[in-house]
Structure 1
Amino acid sequence: MATCAEEVSKTKLVVAAIDFGTTYSGYAFAFQKDYSSDHHSLRIYGIMSKNGCSQKAPTCVLFNPQGKFDSFGYDAENRYAELTLTNEHQDWYYFRRFKMMLYNNPNITWHSILKDDKGKSMNAIKVFSAIISYLRQETLRNINERVANVGIKENEINWVLTVPAIWSDQAKQFMREAAKKAGIHSDQLDIALEPEAASIYCKHISVSRRERQETHGAEGVGLEAMCPGTKYLVLDAGGGTIDITVQRVQENGTLHQVYMANGGDWGGTKVDEAYEAFLEELVGQNIWEAFKAKYMDSYIDIFREFETKKRTISPDIENRITFTVPPVLRDVYEEMKNSPLSTTQGHHRNRKLIWKGDRLRVDVTEAKKLFETTCALIVAHVERILDKEETAGTSDILMVGGFSESPMLSNAIKERFGHTKRVIIPEEAGLSVLKGAVLFGFDTRVVSLRVMKHTYGIQSSSLFRKNLDPDITKTMVKGKLYCEDRFSKHVKKGQSVRIDEETQTIDYHPLDDREEMAVKVYITDKYDPEYCDTELCSYIGQLLVCLPMDVPTSDRGVKVNMKFGGTELSVRATVMATNQTTHAEFRLLE
């Protein structure tokens, strides 16, 4: 449900962004006075930095046995690890890498639940809002540290929350509701699409110094801006999802989306899953599960180390790769197997390795295999997009997101497309979304046109057509037969829509005397569906419109206009008889 925050943000003193990621999350902010003076060299503050491994914090959260928020990020990891050492963790709730629930679950509701690492359940919106609340409070503290003598009031801040572009409308509304529950007023909140935010940032900083040096071999070469007319593909490789969009730079500096946002769940966590599967196979599933249950602190350490290690694995490495594996894993193995784990070089299920102490050395081919499936899926998907008619003339591939910093992925993209496209990887690619979200908050109209991923329509009624409409759709109202399952189309898949464009006005006339009209909203990949209740159409929620009660029944009709060009759905309804605006909203969570 979109807001008018693009107008509000012009009067705000600060724009603050929260990047809620699958593996890492963070916040950043900037001041309006700095943006107004020179937004091309805007100073962005507040990016979290701990442990030297990331400038954001792990997306994990800990609740105490009473279900109250305890800690977030590295603090949550460390606190939970300490609890496991004394077996005090059983009644606590520990959630990590749960954001993908909003991508994988097509039926998100207010009552959707998350399961923690032990299978215990908690209301999903409570978990999400707790993290947003923590990041909001940290942001406010950091802002006021910067302006201690002035002080910034909360109503002087415009907030931006990032979401993947491939998320459903229900998932976006879920995040808005979680932010409201966390204390962010809806009229002070914009939703930014992650690949667009990264694109906005890179449009400001232009081509990275790293890419210029790789291309020209010159130290300190100036940055080259993307010129009007440039068409480029944004590959946002995050922890959970791969989010792709294709955009063109316009003469006025705005961005036009030329191909609908798409992608899949092939992010960096797939590599982590492959590594865990590798370790599990080495010791056996029962032993691995026992190790996780007893030594959560060591389990966390394994993947902290791997997060750094996987950024160093590259195609040109020829030596063995050494991973750090805690000795307690070997202890658990020997205790459960009642036999020693071989620490000498040998073959384990056709895998050559050496395991001594806390060092596991594997053949480089084994390390590279961890990336094979994920990289192949991403390359194939990019290839399919670039083969589309709409993307012809795409000259650049802009790689952003934390997983884009992996040499294995960047090399796979360059090997396949580098001979015809310029592959650009900005410095600190993992922070591009967060920094771009701040810029988006100052100018939400910078992406001026988007392409529809679906055909949207409303279930409506019209006179029944004998021998044409299915009998199952037939209903009698005031002596007349109606078809009650007509798909009233508002916009179709692949259609380009400006952000401020209202689709065609459609008139709706209530068939009874109710005070509120609630109509079902459907999406489909068909261009011209006739009926809603088919396997090709998906119900996504309701459009609620308040109806006038002070006019005759015959004059209670309303005109409905929807906007699809923003990052969220929005609607405007007008009473036909009086031309007055009446309250209307999308309610996509039930």
Structure 2
Amino acid sequence: MKNPRLTKILLVGGFADSRCIQEAVRKGFPSNKVIVPHEADLCIIKGAIPQSNMVLEDENGKTLLAETVFEKAISALIKEFVESMNISGIHLRPDEVRWVITVPAIWSEAAKQFMRKCAYLAGIPDNQLIIALEPEAVSIYCQNIPSRDIDIGGDAITVFKEGTQHMVVDLGDRTVDIAVHEKIGKGFLSEIHHARFDDCGGHSVNTSLVEEFRKIFGKHLVDDLEQNHPLQFFDIHREFEAVKKVYDPFEKSRMEMRLPYVFLNTICQNMNQNDFEQMIRKSEHGDKIIMDKDYISMDPSFVNEQLFEPTAKRICELISQIICKVNNSRLTQIILVGGFADSKYIQEAIRTKFPNKKVIVPENANLSVLKGAVMFGHSPHLISHRVSRFTYGTEVSALFDNEKHDQKRKDIVDGEKRCTGVFGILTTAGTVLERDTTIERTYSTVQKYQRSIDLSIFMSTKENPMYIDEEECSKIGNFHLKLKQPTEEKRSVQVTVVFGNTELKVRAVDKKSGEKCDVSFELPLF
């Protein structure tokens, strides 16, 4: 249904900066203005628990419902795919396609359910959608890549031997996501350490360049450029992005990038009463930076120490922390993937820091997630075990215990002393879960002809939380269990919570009739 008030589409996520994706959305929705928010791919990560009424805001303060943004973006990609297939002479029925959406492994269950809902609104049925975790997709892809496609020797077709453990380091533009897997035979993989991330991706090198520009030209000038001249500011970032990826510290050659010199020189003269080159020469690094017509040339020592080294240190520290936690000699390989994995500087920094680990960089490392996701779509059972990132549970009313329960939470229910708001644990953080691990609970209606039961799911970073409203706890959302034949008498529903997959799932059966309940998920409202 068309809505005349829907005039703008905001693109967020790791692919939001892709010109191809932007163009596809613009082509699919020519009457809507397409906006790419600042730090697009951190929008969901920073908002770890998405809400049904969550809005996204761009740099100019324009907002739109996040649900609408993602729905429109997915719709555009579906349309582009169908058109591409038709042009190729391949005509598919809608029910012949299995769709796979990849998400960072550090996303919460609520974020995954949010993506599933957006995909459903975009026209993808639930039973035709698989959510894939990016590090897992990489591991699956790397199991069967030819040795010629990686930067290590050997004639084996498969990279890993049974029993070996490997670390996947996804070097994205904004974040670095790391997970550890073990090959357990017959192509199966087991998660050894749940994913962790830090915002030290490739863009942090860009941030270092901007900070150096602030020192050279003044904070007020760079801030003015960023806020009032976003196109020129974006062009500088894009130019640096291109030279950053091909920069090779071994060649010890200067890094050169093109700048809009006339434009920048005019701003410098107006705001600083100095021209662009004069300010460079007067700066702390004036002997290492040269302006030659429209090109700025930077000495390797400046590029290495001021731009790349801070980011490389943070990445290596994150890897070190996880290696120490795993503490296993079988962890022998580090796989670098993602757009920033092509950086020779980062590759060398990791090899130098971890000389006893084999560092693997697949060819076209930025496509590893995509290719692995296709393989996962065909064989989602290949990841046999996963480590629970959080403790999951439901709200229960437990028998009151004077020794451990808070007196303020005491309540009398049917003549019994009960403690309200207790965290009823389903599984604890750090637990190794086999795929399709099920935990069953029974819940009952409390009213006559009650048509549904709402099951609230909570998560906590603590191993054994006591209450659902502790600081470390948060509500994922509600699973709405709809009874098909409500009656006057109380009905018991057997609820099965399924763990060990890329998503948490809930099934429910009316115990008296044996009928399955319709289950839907609702994000929390705040």
Cα separation, partners in 2 of 1:257 and 1:270, compared to 1, 3 Å:
same
Is contact 1:235–1:398 with CA below 8 Å preserved after alignment? yes
Determine which structure has greater relative contact order: mean sequence separation of CA pairs < 8 Å that are 6+ residues apart, divided by chain length.
Answer: 1
Q: Could you tell me which residue of structure 2 aligns to residue 387 of structure 1? A: 324
Question: How much does 1:578 deviate?
Answer: 3.9
Go from structure 1 to structure 2 and tell me whether the alpha carbon gap of 1:329 and 1:159 turns closer, same or farther (over 3 Å shift).
same
Which SS does the other structure have where 1:257 is aligned? strand
Task: Measure how far apart 1:434 and its partner are.
Answer: 0.9
| C-alpha distance in 1 between matches for 2:17 and 2:98 | 19
Paired residues of 1:310 and 1:406 also in contact (CA < 8 A): yes
8 Å Cα contact 1:158-1:441 kept in structure 2: yes
Q: 1:391 to 1:574 in 2, by over 3 A?
A: farther
- Please report how far the alpha carbon of residue 23 of structure 1 lies from its aligned counterpart in structure 2 after TM superposition: 5.1
Cross-structure match for 2:334: 397
Q: Give distance in 2, aligned partners of 1:116 and 1:519.
A: 35
Q: What is the match of residue 509 of structure 1?
A: 444
C-alpha distance in structure 2 between counterparts of 1:276 and 1:367, whole Å: 13
Three-state SS of the structure 1 residue aligned to 2:162 is: coil
Kindly report which structure 2 residues correspond to 1:224-239, keeping only aligned pairs within 5 A, or say none: 224-239=158-173
- 2:362 aligns to what? 426
Moved more, 230-239 or 317-326: 317-326
Which of 335, 341, 351 is equivalent to 2:270?
Answer: 335
1:410 aligned partner, one-letter code: Q
Counting only pairs closer than 5 Å after superposition, residues 484-563 of structure 1 correspond to structure 2 as 484-503=420-439, 505-513=440-448, 514-547=450-483, 550=486, 553=489, 555-563=490-498
Match of 1:358 among 287, 294, 312: 294
Structure 2 CA distance for partners of 1:95 and 1:342, relative to 1, 3 Å: same
Contact 2:509 2:517 in 1 (8 A): yes
Partner residue of 2:142?
202
Q: 3-state SS of the aligned residue for 1:258? A: strand
For 1:423, the aligned partner's letter is: V
Distance 2:512 2:374 in 1: 43
Describe the shift of the 1:241–1:125 C-alpha distance in structure 2 as closer, same or farther (beyond 3 A).
same
Give the TM-score normalised by structure 1: 0.79
List per-residue Cα deviations over 1:491-531 (Å, max 9, x = no partner). 1111111222212x222234444432223321112223232
1:15 aligns to what? Answer: none
Aligned amino acid, residue 61 of structure 2: G
> Does 1:482 find its partner at 2:424?
no
Q: Does 1:22 align with 2:22?
A: no
Query: How far is 1:569 from its partner?
Result: 0.9
* Equivalent residue in structure 1 for 2:505, among 550, 556, 570: 570
User: 2:127 matched to 1:182?
Assistant: no
Task: State whether structure 2 residue 107 is matched by structure 1 residue 144.
Answer: no
Q: By how many angstroms is 1:234 displaced?
A: 0.9
> What is the distance in 1 between the residues matched to 2:280 and 2:474?
55
Structure 2 stretches lacking a partner, 5+ long: 1-10
Aligned to 1:87: none
TM alignment of 1:74-153, pairs within 5 A: 93-95=35-37, 97-146=39-88, 148=89, 150-153=90-93
Q: Give the structure 2 partner of residue 75 of structure 1.
A: none
Q: Does 1:470 pair with 2:406?
A: yes
Q: Which stretches in structure 1 are left out of the alignment for 5+ residues? A: 1-18, 27-49, 51-55, 72-92
* CA-CA distance at 1:98 after TM superposition: 1.1
Distance 2:15 2:23 in 1: 5
Matches within 5 A, 1:292-371: 292=226, 295-327=229-261, 328-343=263-278, 346-352=281-287, 353-368=289-304, 369-371=306-308
Give the counterpart of 2:385 among 449, 454, 461: 449
Any idea what the Cα deviations from partners look like across 1:415-467, whole Å, max 9, x if unmatched? Answer: 111x2111110000001001111111111111121110011000111332345
Asked if residue 286 in structure 1 is aligned to residue 220 in structure 2, the reply is: yes
Q: 1:550 to 1:131 in 2, by over 3 A?
A: closer
Query: Cα distance 1:262–1:294, how it changes in 2: closer, same or farther (>3 A)?
Result: closer
Amino acid at match of 1:581: K
Displacement of 1:389: 4.2
Indicate the residue corresponding to 1:69 in structure 2.
32
Q: Give the secondary structure class of the aligned counterpart of 2:185.
A: coil
Classify 1:551/1:296 alpha carbon distance in 2 versus 1 (closer, same or farther; 3 Å): closer
Q: 1:281 to 1:182 in 2, by over 3 A?
A: farther
CA contact (8 A) 1:63 1:70 kept: no
Q: How far apart, in 2, do the equivalents of 1:128 and 1:550 lie?
A: 36
CA 333–25 in structure 1, closer or farther in 2 if over 3 Å, else same: closer
Please state how far the C-alpha of 1:122 moved relative to its aligned partner: 2.0
Q: Could you tell me which residue of structure 1 aligns to residue 6 of structure 2?
A: none
CA distance in 1, matches of 2:498, 2:356: 37
Query: Quick one: which of 199, 202, 220 aligns to 1:265?
Result: 199
1:340–1:225 CA distance, 2 compared to 1 (3 A): closer
Alignment pair present for 1:435 and 2:377 = no
Task: Name the structure 1 match of 2:7.
Answer: none
Distance 1:534 1:589, change over 3 A: closer
TM superposition score normalised by structure 2: 0.88
Q: 1:197·1:436 contact (CA, 8 Å) conserved in 2?
A: yes
Contact map agreement 1:259 1:390 (CA 8 A) in 2: no
- The count of residues paired between Structure 1 and Structure 2 equals 511
Q: Counterpart in 1 of 2:3?
A: none
Aligned pairs for 1:145-184 within 5 A: 145-146=87-88, 148=89, 150-184=90-124
Return the alpha-carbon distance in structure 2 between the equivalents of residues 252 and 370 of structure 1: 44
CA distance in 2, matches of 1:344, 1:474: 69
Assess, with a 3 A threshold, how the Cα gap between structure 1 residues 128 and 552 changes in structure 2: closer, same or farther: closer
Query: Relative to 1, partners in 2 of residues 1:67 and 1:119: Cα closer, same or farther, differing over 3 Å?
Result: farther
Contact 1:313 1:367 in 2 (8 A): no
Aligned residues of 2:54 and 2:65 also touching (Cα < 8 A): yes
What amino acid is aligned across from residue 349 of structure 2 in structure 1? A
Is the 1:486–1:532 Cα contact (8 Å) retained in structure 2?
yes
* Change in CA separation of 1:279 and 1:139 when aligned onto 2, cut-off 3 Å: farther
Tell me the SS of whatever aligns to 2:37: strand
> CA separation in 2, counterparts of 1:59 and 1:477?
59
Q: Which amino acid aligns with 1:69?
A: N
User: What SS does structure 2 have at the residue aligned with 1:276?
Assistant: helix
Which string of whole-angstrom CA distances, capped at 9 and with x for unpartnered residues, describes residues 242-278 of structure 1?
Answer: 1111111122211111211222222112122222232
Deviation of the 1:301 alpha carbon? 2.3
Shift of the 126–67 alpha-carbon distance from structure 1 to 2, 3 Å rule, reads farther
C-alpha contact (below 8 Å) 1:207/1:426 kept by paired residues? no
Contact 1:61 1:96 in 2 (8 A): no
- Cα distance 1:277–1:69, how it changes in 2: closer, same or farther (>3 A)? farther
Describe the shift of the 1:145–1:263 C-alpha distance in structure 2 as closer, same or farther (beyond 3 A).
Answer: same
Shift of 1:589: 4.5
